[in-house]
Structure 1
Amino acid sequence: MTAARLLRTTVLVALPVLAAAHAAPVVSTFGPLRNRTMPRLAGRGRADHVALTFDDGPDPLSTPFFLRALAERKVTATFFLLGRQARRSPGLVREIADAGHEIGIHGWHHRPLLLRGPRATYDDFARARDTVGDLAGRPPALFRPPYGVMSTAAHLAARRLGLTPVLWTSWGEDWTARATPESVHRTVTGDLHGGGTILLHDSDCTSAPGAWRSALGALPRILDTCEDRGLSVGPLREHGWYGGEAPLI
């Protein structure tokens, strides 16, 4: 066998193996499996607490309404910001931070990580981390992947950048055109238990136009339900989830 033919054969054999390794973390996208076997990645925390998180902001057309609603209830949350959105609304990033909310990153672009190689993944995370950190006055420590889909390159890039990935245990499906406050509340609370992490969206930049209104309308009802169940609500930093040796439920 010639050297060229041997090289081609080796490449053909190696490519599927490398592709499988890159995509292996996609199994964490399956919520029931993640919640049961990957509690740290799912954001499982204190049994008497629920972590409230928002993705895809900041958006000057919608995020201020969420900040106002949270302030009225004296609740803080974790906002996973897109770098490109933060760059467009720097004052809003500072407003989120000044209100006492925790800030993480959602990447620079809202693009599937499975379609990105190691260098592009690292550059995307680093750009978002540095931009958001400069605007917020503090480097973010948390990362949530677009669509909740991780890759091996994403795990490695997050580790190099000092970012902890976290997904969720309960979401509202609030990104669709058919979502309503009632459907979002029903979907979130039907799958919500103490120690869970809620995902909502404070922007429709990657969702159906106006979809954020369903999340905003559901928010007071979700907080009421948590209160009725004896669960406190706050950001991930209060969730007994990451940092130190806090037990996972």
Structure 2
Amino acid sequence: MQKDQLLTRRRALIAGAAVLGAVGAAGTARVLTADPAGSPVRAPVAGGPQARQALKPSAYRLEPMTGFAPPRRTPGKPAVRREPIMRVSGRGRTMVLTFDDGPDPRYTPSILRTLRKHDVRAMFFVCGEMAVDNKDLLAEMADDGHVVGNHTWTHPLLTELRRSEIRSEIARTSDVIEDAYGERPVWFRAPYGAWNRATFQIGADLGMEPMAWTVDSLDWTTPGTATIVDRVEEGAAPGVVVLSHDAGGDRSQTVRALRDYLPELLDSGYHLTVPHRQDS
């Protein structure tokens, strides 16, 4: 399958996955945080009253984050969760930017340059079939201190696969990440946000925590750069995880949007960072 055909396939699957994604990533009873206490909190609805508060100017800028380089040891296996992590905690107005489906040599390098310009770390949930041909980009992510997570090999709807197939999709991708990035991933994101008990169990057995998102930029629909910027800025709030894509189709709007909203978020006092996984 050609890389540019991913968007067509995913558009066909997205309708069926939407219900599963809502149940697995947003419709569960509670939302977990990545802080040591692990206290469940309710995630703000993207675009809701809290999220639409106007951005306020601030002199606060992101401080250098040399402490967020990839870990140099292998954490223990996490507990099996029943719902994915959707929010993170941290000092001040902390947010996390995440990019799915890459790396793609047409768009990922531009995203990396923008993040580097502003000294910001992000999370990249990569697909094995993309990563295997672009290992240099994973190495670049490691050098810049970004976190690389597992997004399966071919981006399938995992809830329709047998357990052996789910494990193969995830394990093969972890192998490629370890080879190119230097560490096995400790975060996992199910394609389409479609989770079930098997995905949680297998992900945990392979040493990964499940990460979903709070704010969906819907950039894969190519709604226009300004619309993507508005969605991210209106959804900005402490603890949110923003979903965007650096592959799977034409991501030029995503690239341009990041250049616009990232400095605005920083000027408004947001601390763009990456989470630490807590050992079990």
**TM-score by structure 2 length?**
0.70
Corresponding residue for 1:152? 197
Aligned to 1:198: 242
Which residue does the alignment assign to 1:29? Answer: 25
Q: Residue by residue, what CA displacement relative to the aligned partner does 1:95-151 show, whole Å, maximum 9, x if unpaired? A: 121122111110111111111121111111111111111111111100011111111
Aligned residues: 210
Aligned to 1:176: 221
Q: What is the identity, as a one-letter code, of the residue corresponding to 2:244?
A: L
Residue 188 of structure 1: aligned partner: 232
CA contact (8 A) 1:25 1:151 kept: no
Match of 1:3 in 2: none
Paired position in structure 1 for 2:179: 134
- Quote the Cα distance in structure 2 between the aligned partners of 1:195 and 1:151: 24
Cα RMSD (Å) of the superposition?
2.1
Q: Aligned equivalents of 1:105 and 1:213: distance in 2?
A: 23
Instruction: Find out whether 1:119 has 2:164 as its counterpart.
Output: yes
* Structure 1 pair 151–214 and aligned structure 2 pair: CA distance change class (3 A): same
Give the corresponding residue for 1:66: 111
Q: Which has the higher helix share?
A: 1
Three-state SS of the structure 1 residue aligned to 2:220 is coil
2: CA distance between counterparts of 1:164 and 1:43? Answer: 13
Partner Cα distance (2:177, 2:279) in 1: 25
Any gaps of 5 or more consecutive residues in structure 2? 1-18, 34-84
CA 1:149 to 1:48, structure 2 compared with 1: closer, same or farther past 3 Å? same
Give the deviation of 1:25 after TM superposition: 8.2
What is the deviation of 1:24? 8.2
Query: In the aligned structure 2, how far is the partner of 1:160 from the partner of 1:106?
Result: 16
Cα-to-partner distance string for 1:22-69 (whole Å, 9 max, x where unaligned) = x98861333xx45x7213311332252101111111111111111111
Partner of 1:167 in structure 2? 212
The gaps in structure 1 that reach 5 residues or longer are 1-22
Counterpart of 1:77?
122
Taking the aligned partners of 2:93 and 2:24, their CA distance within structure 1 comes to 25
Residues 226/244 of structure 1: CA separation in 2 closer, same or farther (3 Å cut): farther
With normalisation by structure 1, the TM-score equals 0.78
Contact conserved, 1:44 with 1:195, CA < 8 A, in 2? yes
- C-alpha distance in structure 1 between counterparts of 2:22 and 2:207, whole Å: 21
CA distance in 1, matches of 2:21, 2:105: 34
Tell me how far 1:190 sits from its aligned partner: 1.7
- Who is 2:255 aligned against? 216
Equivalent residue for 1:93, pick from 138, 141, 146: 138
Determine if contact 1:169/1:192 at 8 Å carries over to the other structure.
Answer: no
**CA drift at 1:236:** 2.5
Cα deviations by residue, 1:178-225 (Å, 9 ceiling, x for unpaired): x2111001112222211111111111x2xxx42x11111111332233
| Aligned: 1:106 with 2:151 | yes
The answer (yes or no) to whether the contact 1:26–1:151 under 8 Å persists in 2 is no
Counterpart residue identity of residue 218, structure 1 = A
CA distance in 1, matches of 2:252, 2:208: 30
Counterpart secondary structure, 1:200: strand
Deviation for aligned residue 1:169? 0.6
Contact 2:104 2:130 in 1 (8 A): yes
Q: Where does residue 271 of structure 2 map in the other structure?
A: 232
**AA matched with 2:25:** T
Percent identity of the aligned residues? 30
